[in-house]
Amino acid sequence: MKKDGNNAVVIQRQYYTETAVRYEQMHEHEGSGNTENFDFIIAMLRMLQVKTVLDVGTASGRSLPSLKSAIPELFVCGIEPVRALLDQAVVRGNTASGAVVQGSGDALPFADKSFDGVCEFAILHHVAHPGTVVGEMLRVAKKAVILSDSNRFGQGPMLLRFVKLFLYKTHLWGAFNYLRTSGKGYQITEGDGLAYSYSVYDSYDQIARWADRVIIIPADSSKSVSWLHPLLTSGTVILCAIRHRSES
């Protein structure tokens, strides 16, 4: 299992190395690429008076100039494991807006509560153990953790969405996904590389234990047509976890 996991990491990082030059064009609509979604995130950062932000899985650092432009006094930092993408951050001038560090989200090289806010834009569905990355994000955050990522329960025909939710709630999803992916746990596509079936809701309980308040909104253009929105109606979701407690 560990060997398979290592192979998956190699495959994914090789994909990003090979597509680094085209990364921003290929993924311009993911994560923070949508204007309305980005405006919401900026509003949350301003409301919480966030002064420092870490972008986990920053890739080419494309979010750094936008964050800095929206909140000029903000200190922004990105962390990314793929060297080729960090090289693109330099080539594109994104490092002029913030620092970039080579490192992995499952072992952030920062002390506890190093940043007011920690965010990720569409990277958790690319890791085998998103809970580990989320745990690290919670560890280094003081005020807020923001996830902008996929939601499997809001994808596909409506009947399939209910089936996926049922399998997840009855703890059968793991076995189903194992069979669906022929034991790999992931799928590979030309446009997204190696990806796992993930929902921001998978991380909800973990985040709720840390946060004093959790806000979830749809990140696509889906219309609110039921009280199950956005759980079963939005294929991508933004989760904002807020912590008001002051702890030493």
Task: List, for residues 81-132, the tens digit of each pLDDT value.
Answer: 999 999 999 999 999 999 999 999 999 999 999 999 999 999 999 999 999 9
Residue closest to 234 by CA, chosen among 211, 214, 212, 218: 218
Q: What percent of the chain has pLDDT over 90?
A: 78
Distances (CA, A) of 47 to 53, 105, 144, 212, 240: 14, 26, 11, 15, 12
* Spatial separation of the C-alpha atoms in residues 103 and 113, rounded to whole Å: 18
The runs of H, that is alpha helices, within the chain are: 2-19, 23-26, 35-47, 63-70, 83-91, 130-140, 158-169, 173-180, 204-210
* Spatial separation of the C-alpha atoms in residues 137 and 239, rounded to whole Å: 13
Given a contact cutoff of 8 angstroms between Cβ atoms, the answer to whether 21 and 88 are in contact is yes
Residue 223 pLDDT grade (very low, low, confident, very high; cuts 50, 70, 90): confident
Give the global pTM.
0.91
pLDDT at 69 exceeding the cut of 70: yes
Distances (CA, A) of 100 to 35, 73, 121, 148: 23, 17, 16, 20
Q: CB within 8 A of 33, min separation 6: which ones?
A: 27
Query: What does the pLDDT look like over 80-94, one tens digit per residue?
Result: 999 999 999 999 999
- Cα torsion 131, 191, 80, 152 to 10°: value is -20
* Spatial separation of the C-alpha atoms in residues 127 and 185, rounded to whole Å: 11
What the chain holds in terms of domains, given with CATH numbers, is 2-242 (3.40.50.150)
pLDDT value of position 2: 42
pLDDT at 1 exceeding the cut of 90: no
